[in-house]
Amino acid sequence: MRRAPEAITLLDVYQAVDEGHLLSLHHRSPNPNCLVGRNIQGSLEVIFDQAEHALEQVLAAQTVAQVLQSVLMDVNARAS
């Protein structure tokens, strides 16, 4: 399906190429004998989810056309 650049958000682009979560926990389990280690993953998952949601909100507010316009304005400003 073809869409105009004004109708494509950066969130659309991000979701089209996203291969999973932007932020992820360490691939090895923390030490279960450590007070912090055995509790950190649950806390970090909440924080990482909030951060990803914030990123998605910012990306949803910008279109491909807006980015192109910004780039062209920067190019024109440097040429002057």
Q: Where are the domains of the chain?
A: 5-79
Q: What is the CA radius of gyration of the chain?
A: 19
Predicted local distance difference test score (pLDDT) of residue 18: 82
Predicted local distance difference test score (pLDDT) of residue 71: 96
Q: How far apart are CA 65 and CA 13, in angstroms?
A: 12
* Pick from 58, 52, 60, 57: nearest CA to 9: 60
Predicted local distance difference test score (pLDDT) of residue 19: 78
Predicted local distance difference test score (pLDDT) of residue 53: 95
* Pick from 21, 19, 12, 17: nearest CA to 59: 12
Residue stretches of the chain with pLDDT short of 70: none
* Helices (H), ranges, 1-80: 10-17, 37-60, 64-79
The string of pLDDT tens digits covering residues 37-57 is: 888 898 999 999 999 999 999
